[in-house]
Chains A and B, each alone.
Chain A
Amino acid sequence: MIRITVNGKPHELDVEPEMPLLWALRDELGLTGTKFGCGVAYCGACTVHVDGTPTRSCVTGVGDVDGAAITTIEGIAGRDGDGAPLLHRVQAAWIEAQVPQCGYCQSGMIMAAVALLDSNPNPSDAEIDEAIDNVCRCGTYQRIRKAIHLAAG
């Protein structure tokens, strides 16, 4: 039995340890916000945080993260006093800059941006370029850069 905590909630998974975390999240736990894009860790659509580190879940065996705390796109918003979701500042910046088009890559983009700002609160363009190598087929890159700067405030 594999035990992981996802967005603060503990789960026990009776699956093959080599099953990628991506498919455990999507098919076993029903958390479909994390996306499948390439299966080879190239595009970053599947990016989640494993103990705070941005990780490509499509090539990460769920057995390799036994005991870890996983955060997905569904888990980054906070809660206000009434328990209603309160957008993470990166999500708010994404709306302000009107970033997404088709939106499919954006979960991974946002997770990568959140991790970047956690480790570097005020990144330069060059640092953003270096940290975020996720693929967006709609070409929203210019707005992603803008939104990260907005979120860095």
Chain B
Amino acid sequence: MNRPFQTSRRRFLIGAAAGGGLIVGYQLLGRPAGAETFLDMTVAGEAPLNAWVRIAADGTVTVAVPRAEMGQGVYTGLAMLVAEELEADWASVRVEQAPIDGVYGNIEILVDGLPFLPEDDGMVAGSVRWMTRKVAGMLGLQATGGSTTLRDGWEGMRHAGAAAREMLISAGAGKLGVGRGECRAEKGRVVHPASGRSVGYGEVAEAARRVELSEEPRLKTPEQWTLIGTSPARVDIPAKVDGSAEFGIDIRRPDMLHAAIATSPVFGGTLKSYDATKAKAMSGVVKVVEAAGGVAVIADNTWRARQALDAVAIEWDSGENGTVTSESIFARFARDHDEGDIDTHRDDGDVEEALAGAATVVEAEYRVPYLAHACMEPMNCTALVDDHRAEIWTGNQAPPLMRMAAAEAADLDGDDVTVHTPFLGGGFGRRSETDLAFQATAIARQVPGRPVKLTWSREDDMRHDMYRPAALSRFRIGLDAAGAPVAWSNRIVSQSVVANFMGRLMPGAPMLLKDKTTAEGAFDRPYEFANQRVEHVVSETHVPVGFWRSVGHSLNAFCVESAMDEAAHAAKADPVAFRLALLKNHPRAARVLQTAADAAGWGTPLPAGRGRGVALHRSFGSTVAEIAEVTVRGDGTLKVDRVVCAVDCGRAVQPDGVVAQMESGIVYGMTAAFYGAIDIVDGAVAQGNFPDYEMLRLADMPVVETHIVESGEPLGGVGEPGTPPIAAALANAIFAATGNRIRTLPLQKAGFAPAGVA
């Protein structure tokens, strides 16, 4: 790699600190390593203006994107924020994955995880948020998740672009020999309107590096935007239609070997013994090793490694969990519902008194199963280890965590590990886990100097996931004689995702705050009841749980919005009107619901066997309403005719991307609602591959119609909020069509699923 600016590195850092944004620059001052790494990635003729922007002599703008592209469009969205303020010519903008550094940390992801209501502006919530921002700034955790990328990048990326723009204007004015105040930036050029002369960014980028800005660059007003709010073609798509996009599984290195690994089918089980005699004699096998608690075969080809692994006779010690089943887990949940330690997430008014005085009490119990992520790209990681260094290549959502795991596996310092993040063939939370980085490095360490690509089978992927938690959720909803809701009580039992995740990263670390993810979507929904209580009981099992697209919202939205439908029907009220009555102080949510209802023709008659169901849910700063319309045939087979979706995500940076994410979230949620179930039998996962864990396919894809409701409120996320409402919308539609209330997912187990291709 060329390092043309090595001699002026100090100069760059000072320039970046002053010019890289008085606002974003403080991070550079404290943690200059990111700027240095970015400088190392600079090629001849390029000028780095700050840690996010480099400009080449031909005017090409390179934006360093510190988040993972897993289909959610962040390469495009974040580059748009920079380009908008930079006044770049969009056609000359390219994107590069940023290296690991504290300057690229995600602050929003930690703030959003705090267990407070979005409306809570009180002292405690306010000060904890403030402290979390400070700590998050210091931690500098680069992570992609929680639908935070655009929210977190909204200020910083625009400031990075604005600072670079001001530096370029100064340099351009100098070159044109005119005053800086007489110039402006336009489409990649510094323009002097009075003389009609202009100079391209590429011609003055080198000089711009030396500009020190004296005042804070001003951001454009929304009226001045030309890029934000439009839908340029996504920058990652061309490589994804010709086979050239490089995913982790596609990494090829000189002298690379391939590996497959077997670990205990029962979570927490240990290796008792193994006999690799036969495997060692097989074609292409280089070595059979013990690694990361399992047995791995290293061979010259992915398939040969797998074949040989299948020939290793392994005995496992299942430990104490070899008899656990889904049934025993739910029996424990039911017991802990009554006997476990309760975390109260919300307690307004006097719920028990209101229930005692209610004319009707709706009682219901909902159950949801464990779910696997099942990313299309099976989990994989390539690692190269020698005495002093390690390098890994893996599609991942948290490079610093991958580095930590690889360093531990190779017994090295984190500084001696390089992490490369290619495209992710799906993430959905799964690729924030460090298991592959650890395993691959532990295996590669045993063939020093040779890169080893560890590829999991689909079965490995399904049986060794960190699952969406199974849960039990009970409701008691009180209605008065007129059918008006007067009390809402909800107690949920499940494992804690955050405790599980943190326990894997830092065993023994205490949980300082209750886990918001367990009750999110249940305690923070916008509906107002005078008396309401939402509680959670943590009930741990040996099944590892993790972040699954929309996390707690994925299950709580189903339970809450189904229970809400039950209450509406008990009150003999229209489900949309019933909800609107509870949203009097939440005009934003009410408007989203009304938009979806109007677009779906809510209330217009449907023929027998057809029904509409509605669900409204607020998550990750956005509010989404979905209305599903289904046809249920006599045999229970079902067709989803249409899904109407309305979303308020504040404003849409790239509207087509918002629409794409709603479509995506809905399909992900539909697959889970209809088919998704990971069952535990004898302590292990029963499902193994797609035939046991079915996916929605094209034949069952309804028309999805998305309406963006622009509110101008702070930016909300879009990667996840489309998922939570769909399961309830479907179940409520099935109820409307058939009178069957389904309280346990997946819907297929109750006999309602798409017919598929005949």
On A, residues with C-beta under 8 Å from B are 15-16, 19-20, 23, 26-28, 30-40, 42-43, 45, 72-74, 77, 85, 87, 91, 94-95, 98-107, 110, 128-130, 132-145
Contacts and interface: CB of A to CB of B under 8 A. Distances in A.
B241 A101 contact: no
A141 B667 contact: yes
B interface residue count range (under 10 / 10 to 19 / 20 to 34 / 35 or more): 35 or more
A99 B659 CA distance: 12
Given A32-B250, A33-B244, A142-B703, 18 more contacts: A27-B258, A27-B301, A27-B302, A36-B249, A37-B378, A38-B689, A40-B691, A43-B376, A74-B242, A100-B237, A101-B71, A103-B236, A106-B241, A137-B375, A137-B426, A139-B665, A139-B666, A143-B663
A137 B376 contact: yes
A110 B426 CA distance: 18
Contacts of A130: 699, 757
Contact of A28 (B301, B664, B701): B301
B492 interface: no
B377 interface: yes
Contacts of B250: 26, 32
A91 B302 contact: no
A91 B698 contact: no
Contacts of B426: 102, 104, 137-138
Contacts of A74: 242-244
A135 B697 contact: yes
Contact of B423 (A19, A99, A103, A133): A103
B663 A139 contact: yes
Interface in B242-264: 242-247, 249-250, 252, 258
Interface of B: 70-73, 233-234, 236-247, 249-250, 252, 258, 283, 301-304, 374-378, 423-428, 455, 457-458, 656, 660, 663-668, 670-671, 689-691, 695-699, 701, 703-704, 757
B245 A103 contact: yes
Contacts of A135: 376, 690, 695, 697
A128 B689 contact: no
Contacts, number: 181
29 contacts: A15-B301, A26-B302, A32-B252, A35-B249, A35-B425, A36-B455, A40-B458, A40-B691, A42-B690, A42-B691, A72-B243, A73-B243, A95-B233, A98-B656, A100-B241, A101-B71, A101-B664, A102-B427, A103-B425, A106-B241, A107-B243, A130-B757, A133-B697, A135-B695, A137-B426, A139-B667, A139-B701, A141-B701, A144-B698
Given A137-B668, A138-B426, A38 B458 contact: yes
Contact of B243 (A28, A34, A145): A34
Contact of A104 (B425, B455, B458): B425
Given A95-B238, A104-B425, A43 B72 contact: no
B709 to A, nearest CB: 20
B178 to A, nearest CB: 42
B457 A39 contact: yes
A140 B247 contact: no
